[in-house]
Amino acid sequence: MLTTKIGIDLGTVNTVVFVPKKGFVINEPTMVALGLPENKVIAVGKEAKEMLGKTPSDIVSYKPLKDGVIADYYITKALLKYFIQKAVGSFNLLIKPDVVISVPAGITQTERRAVINAAVEAGAKNAYVVKEPILAALGAGIPINSHSGNMIINIGGGTFEAAVVSLGGIVSWASLRIAGNRFDQAIVDYVRKKYSLYIGEQTAEKVKIAISSAIPTRSKKEYQVRGRDMATGLPKDIVINSNEIAEALAPYLSEIASAVREVFNQTPPELVADIMEKGIILSGGGAQIENLPAFFKKTLGVNAYVAQDPLFCVAKGTGLILSHLDIYKRTLLNKSN
């Protein structure tokens, strides 16, 4: 079967690729390993991540996206080329597919153009970019074209975005560079401060996935962590619990709650009433933090619900756009030249 349409959720941490009738065909880290000094691409995705922290000095693992936007054009192009070729298949390299790519709500025209150009140079026939909150809302099953208001909060690896969607567009939104990466760093800092133990970001990510909680609870989950003792320089094990992780994440979560309040302040009262009635939908990897809906209910007084398969909402949204490309071309999409 020929692949002529591809949806790409181009995330700061992970990239998910959706192909109509095949589903999610790729879910790999947004990472490239480069050979120095000539900056030659050695590995992409999973293979590049496996090299992280284990490479000689002439190989560097690099994340080409920063806070959801292109930080390095050349490397992003190599990354997109890898994902497009992998999705199309080595037998069909002459086929140039139409590609829909997710971008942050706060993207500038220049950044938008860079994504489109990188995709076309990487092998796309046409590239279309759609803002993440719209895609996340579509993927979460929200009827974006209805006249009533819906709020989607998408917490990815690099950015948090909250948006009110109505009549197919974004009415009000906020974006912060606080998301999965910052949560990992918060855990690293907390363990260093409290236990005088150095742990890596990958260990912190495992802790987050296993026992993270948005609020302290009576029944604590525990997790054994291994790191390097700051005093002796030797390996050491500690046991950390979910209430400690809640404490580590608290400053960032309160910033997120403030940003959501600001979105409510910018939203027409009728749409706010709709959201109060229906609740907030949570998507993205960060939505999987335990007790996050309870945190929003406590801080904002609004019910919140985690979307089905929150990690794949944006990619699912690209799939829905691809299956109705002609309709969305007229409304949502900016076609590349």
Q: Are residues 87 and 167 in the same domain?
A: no
For the chain, the residue count is 337
Q: Are residues 163 and 78 in the same domain?
A: no
Q: How many domains does the structure of the chain reveal?
A: 2
Q: Is residue 104 part of a domain?
A: yes
How high is the mean pLDDT of the chain? Answer: 90
Distance CA 137, CA 91 (A): 35
Residue 20 structural domain = 5-132+313-335
Element (H, E) at 226: strand 222-229
Q: Are residues 186 and 264 in the same domain?
A: yes
What is the predicted pLDDT for the residue at 174?
95
Q: Are residues 156 and 300 in the same domain?
A: yes
Other C-beta atoms lying within 10 Å of the C-beta of residue 232: 9
Q: Is residue 111 part of a domain?
A: yes
Q: Are residues 115 and 148 in the same domain?
A: no
Position with higher pLDDT, 38 vs 147: 147
Q: Are residues 181 and 266 in the same domain?
A: yes
Q: Is residue 137 part of a domain?
A: no
CATH number of 195's domain:
3.30.420.40
Residues 116-135 pLDDT 10s: 999 999 999 999 999 999 99
Q: Is residue 233 part of a domain?
A: yes
Residues 307-325 pLDDT 10s: 999 999 999 999 999 988 8
Residue 81 half-sphere exposure toward CB, CA atoms < 13 A: 14
Q: Are residues 173 and 98 in the same domain?
A: no
Residues 230-245 pLDDT 10s: 999 999 999 999 999 9
Position with higher pLDDT, 52 vs 158: 158
Whole-number percent of the chain with pLDDT over 90:
64
